[in-house]
Amino acid sequence: MQIKKNFFIFIFIIIVFLATGFFLINHSPKNFEPEDIKYVEIARKTLKVGIALTKEEQKEGLSGKDILRDDEGMLFVFSNPEKYAFWMKNMNFPIDIIWIGEDLRVIYVKKDARPESYPEVFVPTENATYVLEVISGFVEKNNLEVGEKVKFLP
């Protein structure tokens, strides 16, 4: 009887060990390059994003574009965390600007930045590594708050 009990305990420990390993493998952050990012999960929504990696892409951003859909955005990826300033030069529609820290948490939000606000500059209160531009009203509609987690997806 004791052998049978020990056998079941051993099997149980093996199952727990395998389940833990499976969980850790499937729920660990995935490492991929910034240019591989195609989607951003934020405020329980998944957005298809364009990526601005180079200084030229970052300078242009959404300027000159006519429209941005509710499920789209532009993700600016910077190499170092800083207080990156944004303005609305050559913009044709209002946007929400979301600054994201190195830990992939929202650190600052500017709601409803309007084209006519140019040359006003919007600056976060903390250093950011990423900035996400989305259509105006996204933050309010989805109850996005500072501190929320953001996920990048390939």
Spatial distance between the Cα atoms of 132 and 120, rounded to a whole number of angstroms? 18
Spatial distance between the Cα atoms of 60 and 40, rounded to a whole number of angstroms? 20
Upper half-sphere CA count for residue 10 (Cβ side, 13 Å): 6
- Average pLDDT of the residues in 11-24: 65
Q: How confident is the model at residue 149 (pLDDT cuts 50, 70, 90)?
A: very high
What does R_g of the chain's alpha carbons equal in angstroms? Answer: 21
More confident residue, 32 or 113: 113
Tokens 């910034």 belong to 34
Q: How confident is the model at residue 125 (pLDDT cuts 50, 70, 90)?
A: very high
Spatial distance between the Cα atoms of 133 and 128, rounded to a whole number of angstroms? 14
- How many other CB atoms are found less than 10 A from the CB of residue 117? 15
